Amino acid sequence: MDLYAVFLLIILGAILGILGWKYFLDLKLRKRMEKARISERGAVSLLKKHGFDIVDVQKEASYEVFVNGKPHKVTVRADVIVKKDGKIYVAEIKSGKTSPSLNTSATRRQLLEYYLVYKPAGLILVDMEQRKIKTVEYSILKRDYFQVRYLFYAVVIFFIGFIMGFLTRGE
């Protein structure tokens, strides 16, 4: 076999290897997407079973991030928006072994982004591996809320005192 034939066989082998690898990755992605669709349907049933009303599925929202003064549009998509006892929640559905854990930084960041974008009453993490619903709260968000609330109370009391002083100044 001459050098030209060996070269052609190497090229053909590389092309077939690349195509085979691409097919394998596509198949793996399709399986993961199908698992996600099945998990999402199961999660909707689980949420309904726990008394949540489904408001929206795959709800998109967007916001802008400014980098060096230039706006960049960012779009997020919440898995499910639910309602219970008059309160709106964002539910994130996780079906992997590690992703439902709040030890996973990507999950924490995703939920925090949902909180900031959708401004729900709360966040819900639906663990489809264990078929559990977990409520998620961030202490930093609660602390800021309470500080603002107390500041609001102080301003209201100040204005009430000011008005009472103005009305009773004794002229």
pTM above 0.75, yes or no: no
Please check whether residues 79 and 160 belong to one and the same domain.
no
β pairing state of 87-94 and 122-127 = parallel
Please check whether residues 65 and 122 belong to one and the same domain.
yes
CA distances (Å), 15 to each of 21, 69, 78, 94, 165, in order?
A: 10, 45, 39, 36, 86
Please check whether residues 77 and 160 belong to one and the same domain.
no
DSSP 30-59: HHHHHHHHHHHHHHHHHHHHTTPEEEEEEE
Whether residue 144 is predicted with pLDDT greater than 80 in this model: the reply is no
pLDDT digits (tens, 9 = 90+) for 109-142: 999 899 999 989 889 999 888 888 888 887 776 6
Please check whether residues 161 and 79 belong to one and the same domain.
no
Q: Report d(CA 102, CA 106) in Å as an integer.
A: 9
pLDDT band at 49 (very low <50, low <70, confident <90, very high): very high
Whether residue 29 is predicted with pLDDT greater than 90 in this model: the reply is no
- In this prediction, residue 137 carries a pLDDT of 81
Please check whether residues 130 and 150 belong to one and the same domain.
no
Q: What sections of 50-138 are H helices per DSSP?
A: 105-118
- In this prediction, residue 142 carries a pLDDT of 60
- In this prediction, residue 28 carries a pLDDT of 72
Task: Identify which of 65, 81, 74 has the alpha carbon closest to the alpha carbon of residue 118.
Answer: 81
Please check whether residues 110 and 150 belong to one and the same domain.
no
Whether residue 65 is predicted with pLDDT greater than 90 in this model: the reply is yes
pLDDT digits (tens, 9 = 90+) for 70-94: 999 999 999 999 999 999 999 998 8
Please check whether residues 115 and 33 belong to one and the same domain.
yes
Please check whether residues 122 and 163 belong to one and the same domain.
no
Whether residue 38 is predicted with pLDDT greater than 80 in this model: the reply is no
| SS3 at position 3 | helix
Domain of residue 168, residue span: 145-171
Please check whether residues 30 and 96 belong to one and the same domain.
yes
Please check whether residues 114 and 165 belong to one and the same domain.
no
Number of domains in the chain: 2
Please check whether residues 88 and 12 belong to one and the same domain.
yes
Whether residue 44 is predicted with pLDDT greater than 80 in this model: the reply is yes
Report residue 88: phi and psi, to 5°. -95, 135
Please check whether residues 88 and 149 belong to one and the same domain.
no
What's 53's domain CATH number?
A: 3.90.320.10
